[in-house]
Amino acid sequence: MENWKERISVNPAVCHGKASYPAIESEDIDAALAYAAELVREGSIDLPTEAAEILRGAGFAADTVGEENLSGADAATVASASRSDGRILVTLDLDFANIRAYSPGEHTGIIILRMKRQDKTTVLAYVRRAFDREVERPWPTSRS
């Protein structure tokens, strides 16, 4: 469906910028799938890829799921790869908030970013504020 924008609205003032739908019909499901496909093409399902650039600029050894060949992988697979590499996972995905599945102490760390608005501009601004600082860090960075 190429005209998904006729059936779905994305407004930062509504639903924290998440897509909102009218009464759902089969066309709405097609539109939702087209919208999701567009988000995947833009790389904005989770943290924008530019977030890794910000983290690298702050001295962290940061990779995206795409760079790790994990695009489309489930949360457990991403967590396992992060754990085996000794990496801290930074995500917007609430699946990682499940402490039964991702118990503290069983991984290097998981940081779940939650903001009222999660559009790309807001997320990148938040990542810059949170990580683009010269602060003493007890964890290794690529500058170490």
Statement: the pTM of the whole predicted model exceeds 0.95 = no
φ, ψ for residue 13, nearest 5 deg: -85, -10
The answer to whether 116 and 36 have CB atoms below 8 angstroms apart is no
Residues 58-103: pLDDT tens digits?
A: 888 888 888 888 887 888 888 999 899 888 888 888 888 888 888 8
The Cα 34–Cα 38 span in angstroms is: 6
